[in-house]
Structure 1
């Protein structure tokens, strides 16, 4: 029963970051409940996986550092507020071991996202995109921002296997 419960709690992370990325892609917003549930879900997952208090403390410090970085990026208007919160909540789950991979993968995914949006927003493709769903047409609008939650979700998913939570799971 415990391994099943551990697996279910570990699924909270990928499900919520994917939902956050999809919500940002389709609405340019990431609801606070997504980051909130990530934060709330971390503690039971860490406890059930037997993560030590010192490692949990390191995860907390990493999450707070990511929040400070996210707030700075938000203040510079590089990312939105929801992006900053999702970035920090994911960092809480990932902790120290996976953080470098998370930052690098998120940056690479952000670059790929920017190139994709430049293509969608080009005069050649934009008319075709506008005939699709409204959210897709909004992505093609040059005046719109970049739904960076997509890149955060990709980076988080790629870094998750290196996290101390996944490393502590006996099924991994």
Structure 2
């Protein structure tokens, strides 16, 4: 049972990494990633012994994150895939982990943006012969694949998730 639980708990880190890499290389986060995160949550939550009330709290946090993400999308601050990935990550992180997730995501997003600004200014000429996604990423004033920051924030906050805490204690 512990091996199965461990495999279920690995769903979240694996999928947010795939989402971040996909956003980095294509500027898109496919819906299947967020849907797979949502589908994987309940088996993982039940496997570690999360109560129905705790599962409800996780769902409420995710719904709140989705509403905030929709507002950010409407303001053109983030993409739709970013909003969905953020909400799906909050589903896994719950109330305890989501605060740290938002802090880490903001910090990683700021660092990533600074890196891109410097890379676009200093390295662009050297990278123009690279793969298409690198050339696109180096476009001055181009979009920023914020899924990278969301993935990093989720990975950094995951240890604060009640799912991991229950797995370690149980």
Q: TM-score range by the shorter chain?
A: over 0.9
Is 2:15 the counterpart of 1:16?
yes
**2:51 & 2:169 partners in 1: Cα distance?**
19
Give 1:19-168 correspondences, 5 Å limit: 19-122=18-121, 124-168=122-166
- Over the residues paired in the alignment, what is the CA RMSD in angstroms? 1.1
TM-score, structure 1 normalization: 0.96
Structure 2 residue runs without a partner (length 5+) = none
Question: What secondary structure does 2:168 align onto?
Answer: coil
Residue pair 1:120, 1:129 contacting (<8 A) in 2 also: no
TM-score, structure 2 normalization: 0.97
Figure out how many residues of one structure are paired with residues of the other and give that number.
Answer: 170
Structure 1 residue runs without a partner (length 5+) = none
